[in-house]
Structure 1
Amino acid sequence: MPGSRHGRRRIRLPLRLRLLAGSVTTTLTAILATALTASLALGLGLGLTVAVAGQASAADVNNAKNAGFESGLTNWTCSAGSGTTVSSPTHGGSAALKATPAGQDNARCTQTVAVKPNSTYTLSAWVRGGYAYLGATGTGTTDVSTWTPDSSSWKQLSTTFSTGSSTTSVTVYTHGWYGQAAYYADDVSLYGPDGGGGGDPAPTIPATPTGVTVTRAASSSISLAWSPVSGATGYTVYRDGTKATAVTGTSATVTGLAASTSYSFQVTATNAAGESAKSAAVTGRTTTAPDGGGGSLPKHAVTGYWQNFNNGATVQKLSDVQSQYDIIAVAFADATTTPGAVTFTLDSAGLGGYTVDQFKADVKAKQAAGKKVIISVGGERGTISVTDPTSATNFANSVHTLMQTYGFDGVDIDLENGLNATYMTQALRALSAKAGPSLILTMAPQTIDMQSTSNTYFQTALKVKDILTVVNMQYYNSGSMLGCDGKVYSQGSVDFLTALACIQLEGGLSPSQVGLGLPASPSGAGSGYVSPSVVNNALDCLTKGTACGSFKPSRTYPDLRGAMTWSTNWDARAGNAWSGVVGPHVHGLP
């Protein structure tokens, strides 16, 4: 992406601590490492989020009091004044605990709960935010705890213990970690035999969900959303009367659907007391399956590059990326010392302390919202070279590893210093075999790379046409170029966009595999910026034959995929002027 790495900071933190539990890798300071080692020795870090255990029996009760913090901090004591209650975010009800650790305090909040001797109890709580721990002491047998690293969404922690022969009370607790971000906790429960000390009333079956709507339809999936239900801890989605998926939030995406097919959906609310009646049914219809690769993308899609560095544009977390973007290309993967292989390192320092765990969680959240998140290879200064069978294999293996590690949906080829059509094709075929038919494969060639089908970039696109999602050529930083009519056009006009797109459209690519790539603002590229209205005019000219300049294509291409921009960060810096204008227009194309 021309000019995209200007001023990129490449800072590496000095210490990487690998937390073996759950195979999660996080970066901590040496002080945190020392403190964590001591904590583990005391049995405080026994594992990541564990499977939710069921209640011991139907007669069990929640022995914890004010478990949802609806009465402030009543029955709870937090160290060093670290705890308070907040009205947002909450998991259930109208309040939740927020506890903020300090340098010498881990924000420990406790409650002493009456229990019965020689009994089994299940302790659970919903947490989010910074590092969050849940545990019990004074059990009379083995004290227990469980924990999770940073999380941008609610997670349920759960652990089980038995009481000793003379144990009549235990202390349950939550805490964070020294100097780390605040954590939130809600809906704490200690289920087991009634200890006689009272507790919160048993939950009642929640009300039936309302406001169920279809928020997005793709060729193999339907996304739904609904209003929250008080007292619900989860929701179940039914497709044509059969359970399709269960979630804890108020949205879900049902996958594995047939293209061009109508489905009926209903939602129920659940908690420990049971399941509500089904909601009113809503109907969603999947779209036509896309040509080539593309998974469950909409017919017309918007691609945006997300900067994994700070070069003066707005610094974003992946969760901050504007909702109009259907494909988010993470820029960039870098070459390694192994020929053809690539790697990706999150620029946590440059992004204000954005952690790998937060990034991974944000990838999943975007996917749950129907988006695709891919890793872009190359950029203006990318030096990845795939020139023989070995480097082709290395490329495919390393990209697939990144997909598995971070949850990426595919790869973007943005190699601006040339590529070998034979071996890049071999690499992409090998990657497709590993990733399967849902692979998202995009390309971002420069204008010169797509002037003729004899060019190696164009050849590569044609060789992988059956697995190719979209080619978003960069209509900028190029100067004047030939259009498909043999005339020369200068960048910055409708004619430049339409006449050059025509080369790809008539050169063998499907219209659904062609997108228009433009800068989001004048700061995003050295030259070639056009007003978002010009982008929309070009889209209308190509798809409908309207709003053309002096060049008018001989036919229309209503299946044109859409548009791309460098970058979501520059778009944000410009007040979302690009995505706010081009995004709705793309999604409204025929």
Structure 2
Amino acid sequence: MERSGTPGRRPRRRWAGALAAVLTGAALSFTGLSGSAQAADVNVAKNAGFESGLANWTCSGGSGATVGSPAHGGAAALKATPAGQDNAKCSQTVAVKPNSTYTLSAWVQGGYAYLGASGTGTTDVSAWTPDSASWKELKTSFTTGAGTTSVTVYTHGWYGQQPYFADDVSVFGPDGGGGGDPDPVVPAAPGGLAVSGTSSSSVTLAWNAVSGATGYNVYRDGSKVLAVSGASAVVSGLAADTSYAFQVTATNSAGESGKSSTVTGRTATSGGGGGGTVPKHAVTGYWQNFNNGATVQKLSDVQGAYDIIAVAFADATGTPGAVTFNLDSAGLGGYTVAQFKADVKAKQAAGKSVIISVGGEKGSVSVNDSASATNFANSVYALMQEYGFDGVDIDLENGLNSTYMSQALKSLAAKAGSGMVLTMAPQTIDMQSTSNEYFKTALNVKDILTVVNMQYYNSGSMLGCDGKVYSQGSVDFLTALACIQLEGGLSPSQVGLGLPASTRGAGSGYVAPSVVTAALDCLAKGTSCGSFKPARTYPGVRGAMTWSTNWDAAAGNAWSNVVGPHVHGLP
């Protein structure tokens, strides 16, 4: 969404860095070598899976930390961040036998990652990989010298590159006298199991972490349905308004604990994902918390046709992932926070949902790791509590990480409950394929998602679901692109059409309100179509969205006066 009435650039992040230097004299390998394991061979590395934090490891310049996600095995992994002239080297000295062969391996992910051994007494070795989006095993081997009783093993990244993750380090060979990590024991059964949130198709569970556990199994009505690494889980794919019994066990390499006590969770009655009291067919409008030449409105001035009012926008803070809201009282003619809060309640009393929108054309909120995901969820929930917002709108136009945004939204839903309203406003390019991060996020949170109101403007020509190119500004453009979402996994109730309220609301893509209503009829009833006609109809299509209620007011409410009644009259 634009803060001005003119088109803005929407940069896409592309990382094109490449390593220019090659380590001289190091034996680098992707596949490595393997040694002959003897019956008494052990992993002589201690705290090899970082389950005990950084115990036994030393990281240069304070570059290392342990994180719960991503983890290759167990509940923790190393995250090391190169900075300046520091390459984030984390090392450990292990006891070895002279004249012996050891297999060195580790799993890595993220930026450039190196694994090596020094002080071997023969030829020091290392293995490396460029940045990797998923876990990859590095493996090599070394032979100790005649007088070698200890060797330093290490991981490190590369200068100026992204953080790397490492887990499950192994230095496998004869015991040099230091032994390995003690064998694990079967963990205790988890305690504190409770239902922390529900939707019409899911139940969110949380429990107390168990010492020594590396994972947990979730049981529904006696059958195992989920395995997770942390002390919470979302069990999805459930029937609405139905009770289920849940238990949890803790696991590690020694086995599985007994089952926890049983808790009962009942799914919500609202259909089609999240949405609280949002009507079957709904109109969404963005309300501007700033003056850019459109009609200045108080929230109480927002036209009655709008069922979901998205307050634009939340502001980023200095904490990664966290947001806040600052009412522009001066720009809105002295509108006070107290008045705003009262107007939120009044709109809700009238059956409307008021949500906080995050992002916009110039908004930059980065949720790209577990910590920032937690910060996002906590800060949005705090705004919901302070101002009474019903939920959140995701309008991030400058990049989105599906893994961590999904984590953040599920965490938020667990706090807010089944009545939370969750909307999204991706650009057309973001929903061209289910492999795109926005589309993946929508599918990941389908059980709590109210509606995706894609922006059918400021985009130019795009592909429809039939593989043909359609020009912006036509019925075909709206219906053929909506078809991608409808056939790509979203339910009809989770698809809406986002259009500008006037020619001043966007740089391009404005269509007359009659074009919006024709596209809705084509999708819902198979009538008023252009050259593209969907293979089937979608009577449950949610409705339409506009930027903005202010631009609509500036144009005499021409958009909401036509689109509003039409949406509410859909079958």
Query: Which TM-score applies when normalising by structure 2?
Result: 0.54
- 1:467 aligned to 2:438? no
- State the match for 1:544 in structure 2: 525
Match of 2:302 among 297, 305, 321: 321
Within 2, Cα distance between the matches of 1:370 and 1:470? 17
SS of structure 2 residue aligned to 1:564: strand
1:103 alignment partner in structure 2: none
Q: Secondary structure at the match of 1:492?
A: coil
Q: Secondary structure at the match of 2:359?
A: strand
Secondary structure of the residue that 1:548 maps to in structure 2?
coil
In structure 1, the partner of 2:551 is: 570
Shift, 1:421, TM fit: 0.4
Displacement of 1:6 after TM fit?
A: 6.9
Cα distance in 1 between the residues matched to 2:285 and 2:271? 20
1:537-578: per-residue Cα shift (whole Å, max 9, x none)?
Answer: 000000000000000000000000000000000000000000
Matches within 5 A, 1:256-275: none
Counterpart residue identity of residue 518, structure 1: L
Superimposed CA distance per residue, residues 171-200 of structure 1 (whole angstroms, 9 cap, x where no aligned partner):
xxxxxxxxxxxxxxxxxxxxxxxxxxxxxx
Shift of residue 581, structure 1, vs aligned partner: 0.1
Query: Residue 566 of structure 2: SS of its match in structure 1?
Result: helix
Map of 1:422 onto structure 2: 403
> Contact 1:413–1:443 (CA<8 Å) still a contact in 2?
yes
1:477 aligns with 2:481: no
Which ranges in structure 2 are unaligned for 5 or more consecutive residues?
9-199, 201-239, 242-268
Aligned to 1:358: 339
The aligned residue for residue 46 of structure 2 is none
One of 392, 397, 403 as aligned partner of 2:378: 397
Amino acid at match of 1:489: Y
Question: Secondary structure in 2 aligned to 1:523?
Answer: coil
Q: Tell me what 2:487 maps to.
A: 506
Give 1:290 shift: 2.8
Q: 1:298 and 1:563 mapped to 2: Cα distance? A: 12
TM-score using structure 1 length: 0.52
Residues 1:557 and 2:538 are matched in the alignment: yes
Residue from 292, 303, 308 that aligns with 1:311: 292
Structure 1 match to 2:276 = 295
Q: In 2, are the aligned partners of 1:414 and 1:445 still within 8 Å (CA)? A: yes
Matching residue within 447, 471, 474 for 1:490: 471
Are 2:415 and 1:431 aligned?
Answer: no
Instruction: Name 1:378's counterpart in structure 2.
Output: 359
Q: CA deviation at 1:473?
A: 0.1
Aligned to 1:582: 563
- 1:408-456: CA deviations, max 9, x gaps? 0000000001100000000001100100000000000000000000000
Pair 1:571–1:370, CA change in 2 (3 A): same
> SS at the partner of 1:563?
strand
For 2:301 and 2:539, locate their aligned partners in 1 and report how far apart those are by CA, in whole Å: 31
Of 511, 514, 518, the match for 1:533: 514
Are the equivalent residues in 1 in contact too, given 2:7–2:458 (CA < 8 A)?
Answer: no
Cα distance, 1:5–1:411 mapped onto 2, change above 3 Å: farther
Superposed CA offset, 1:77-114 (max 9, x none) = xxxxxxxxxxxxxxxxxxxxxxxxxxxxxxxxxxxxxx
CA shift in 2, pair 1:500/1:379, >3 Å = same
Per-residue CA deviations over 1:124-176 (Å, capped at 9, x if unaligned) read: xxxxxxxxxxxxxxxxxxxxxxxxxxxxxxxxxxxxxxxxxxxxxxxxxxxxx
- Confirm or deny: 8 A CA contact 1:4 1:380 kept in the other structure: no
Equivalence for 1:215: none
Give the distance between the partners of 1:416 and 1:339, measured in 2 at CA.
17
Is the 2:5–2:506 contact (alpha carbons within 8 Å) kept by the matching residues of 1?
no
Change in Cα spacing, 1:469 to 1:433, as seen in structure 2 (3 Å) is same
Q: Within 5 A, what are the aligned runs for 1:102-501?
A: 289-501=270-482
- Runs of 4+ in structure 1 over 2 Å off: 2-8
Question: How many percent identity over aligned positions?
Answer: 84
Q: CA deviation at 1:492?
A: 0.3
* Aligned length in residues: 315
Structure 2: distance between partners of 1:515 and 1:377: 18
Matches of 1:426 and 1:309, distance apart in 2: 31
Matches within 5 A, 1:27-46: none
Aligned to 2:144: none
Q: CA deviation at 1:4?
A: 4.2
Deviation at 1:297, TM superposition (A): 1.1
Q: Identify the residue that residue 11 of structure 1 maps to in structure 2.
A: none
1:77-88 alignment runs, 5 A limit: none
Does the 8 A contact of 2:454 with 2:498 survive in 1? yes
Q: Distance in 2 between matches of 1:7 and 1:531?
A: 19
- Distance in 1 between the 2:271 and 2:509 partners? 30
Match of 1:35 in 2: none
CA distance in 2, matches of 1:372, 1:514: 17
Code of the aligned partner of 2:403: T
Q: What SS does structure 1 have at the residue aligned with 2:363?
A: coil
Contact 2:6 2:505 in 1 (8 A): no
Q: Which secondary structure does the structure 2 equivalent of 1:458 belong to? A: helix
Counterpart code for 1:587: H
Partner SS for 2:504: helix
* 2:174 alignment counterpart: none
Residues 6 and 403 of structure 1: is their aligned pair in 2 closer, same or farther, counting only changes over 3 Å?
farther
SS of residue in 2 equivalent to 1:501: helix
CA displacement at 1:385 relative to structure 2: 0.0
2:134 corresponding residue in structure 1:
none
Is the 8 Å Cα contact of residues 6 and 506 (structure 2) preserved in structure 1? Answer: no
Aligned CA distance change for structure 1 residues 354 and 7 (closer, same or farther; 3 Å): farther
Give the Å deviation of 1:2: 3.5
Paired with 1:516 and 1:324, the residues of 2 have a C-alpha distance of 16
Aligned to 2:392, the other structure's residue is in SS state strand
Alpha-carbon contact 1:306-1:569 (below 8 Å) kept: yes
Q: Deviations along 1:288-325, whole A, 9 cap, x unmatched?
A: 83300000111000000000000000000000000000
Distance 1:347 1:7 in 2: 23
**Change in 2 beyond 3 A, CA 1:361/1:509:** same
Cα distance between partner residues in 1 of 2:3 and 2:483: 26
Aligned partner of 2:209 in structure 1 is none
Hey, what does 2:219 align to over in structure 1?
none
Q: Deviations over 1:201-252 (max 9, x none)?
A: xxxxxxxxxxxxxxxxxx9xxxxxxxxxxxxxxxxxxxxxxxxxxxxxxxxx
Corresponding letter in the other structure for 2:377: A
CA distance in 2 between counterparts of 1:516 and 1:6 reads 20
- Indicate conservation of the 8 Å contact 1:7/1:310, yes or no: no
SS in 2 for 1:524: coil
Match of 1:294, as an amino acid? Answer: G
